[in-house]
Amino acid sequence: AQASESAAASPPAAGKKIVLGFSQVGAESGWRTANTNSIKESAAEAGFELKFSDAQQKQENQIKAIRTFIQQKVDVIAFSPVVESGWDTVLKEAQDAGIPVILTDRAVDSKDTTLYKTFIGSDFVEEGRKAGQWLVDQYKDAQEDVNIVELQGTTGSAPANDRKAGFEEVIKSNGKLKVIASQTGDFTRAKGKEVMQAFLKAHKDIDVLYAHNDDMALGAIQAIEAAGLVPGKDIVIISVDAVKDGMIAASEGKINFIVECNPLLGPQLMQAVRDVLAGTEIPQRVVTEETTFTSEQAKAALPDRKY
């Protein structure tokens, strides 16, 4: 059935709190913690009842949580999908129950875009391009091969797929830039360290690390230092997020360039919930505004960094 045949979303009765069910990816990174805090604080400020569920990076847990929200007849379901694929069935169940769904942070690859009202979050391909462009600029005069290792985010997730694709698209303009190893570090510090240790063992000539988030870069820095190398000098490091710990490492020169990914999506999400329930037209895609930081820029921005 198409959206028009499904039960319509209805605002809660006057005086009744809006109930928002939110299924979060997990608690894998500093970015995620900031994102969770933003959602919880904004829901409290908006006066909504928030039913919050942590999926511990497992899609099956998210599907279960969404089904529970449907049974509980929440007013709106929002979620940040762990991976891109495999959502059509459960999203259809929500649609048939007349519960609007909002995506935040990460996308789904469903062909039927009526399954969700809007998607609020970053342009991850663009983030990958920014990382690649910085590298292209740094090595424009390179005479020898520049050996790059890549720490990918969670396999199958939108940020891992897109940050990889955007980076590759840009660096192919310079044949000297070569990705010699690429593996997932699941967006965590522990995995970032473990995989970097393996990279260092297997390759004696690593010039650059591209990490899909700060936490993996921070784990990798521990491995690089333990190997007697200087992060930011012996190995140039690029990462994504710009959370506090990443910004500290950048200000110390251990990370050379960070592409910002903004986790503070709570206020926009609460507004979208209100609009959807009021029947106000909202754009299908809301792209978050973001910047980039060199070490110098990180040093300057650090005192005001909130997360």
Residues near ligand AHR (CB under 6 A): 28-29, 31-32, 105-106, 159, 187, 213, 215, 240-241, 261
CB of 10 to ligand AHR, least distance (A): 31
Residue 168 vs 245, nearer CB to ligand AHR? 245
CB of 127 to ligand AHR, least distance (A): 8
Which two three-digit tokens encode residue 6? 């499904």
Residue 29 vs 95, nearer CB to ligand AHR? 29
Count other C-beta atoms under 10 Å from residue 179's C-beta.
16
CB of 216 to ligand AHR, least distance (A): 8
DSSP code string of 187-239:
T-HHHHHHHHHHHHHH-S---EEEESSHHHHHHHHHHHHHTT--BTTTBEEEE
Residue 10 vs 291, nearer CB to ligand AHR? 291
CB of 290 to ligand AHR, least distance (A): 11
Residue 34 vs 146, nearer CB to ligand AHR? 34
Residue 117 vs 189, nearer CB to ligand AHR? 189
CB of 15 to ligand AHR, least distance (A): 36
CB of 184 to ligand AHR, least distance (A): 12
Strand-by-strand arrangement of the 76-79 sheet:
49-54, 19-24, 76-79, 101-104, 118-121, 285-287
DSSP character at residue 65: H
How far apart are the C-alpha atoms of 133 and 195, rounded to whole Å? 25
How far apart are the C-alpha atoms of 235 and 173, rounded to whole Å? 22
Strand-by-strand arrangement of the 177-184 sheet:
177-184, 146-152, 208-211, 236-241, 257-260, 292-294
How far apart are the C-alpha atoms of 273 and 58, rounded to whole Å? 25
Residue 70 vs 246, nearer CB to ligand AHR? 246
CB of 187 to ligand AHR, least distance (A): 4
Which ranges constitute the DSSP H helices of the chain? 30-46, 59-71, 88-96, 124-138, 158-171, 189-202, 214-226, 244-251, 266-278, 295-301
Residue 125 vs 240, nearer CB to ligand AHR? 240
CB of 305 to ligand AHR, least distance (A): 15
How far apart are the C-alpha atoms of 223 and 212, rounded to whole Å? 17
Residue 207 vs 215, nearer CB to ligand AHR? 215
CB 78 within 8 A of CB 102: yes
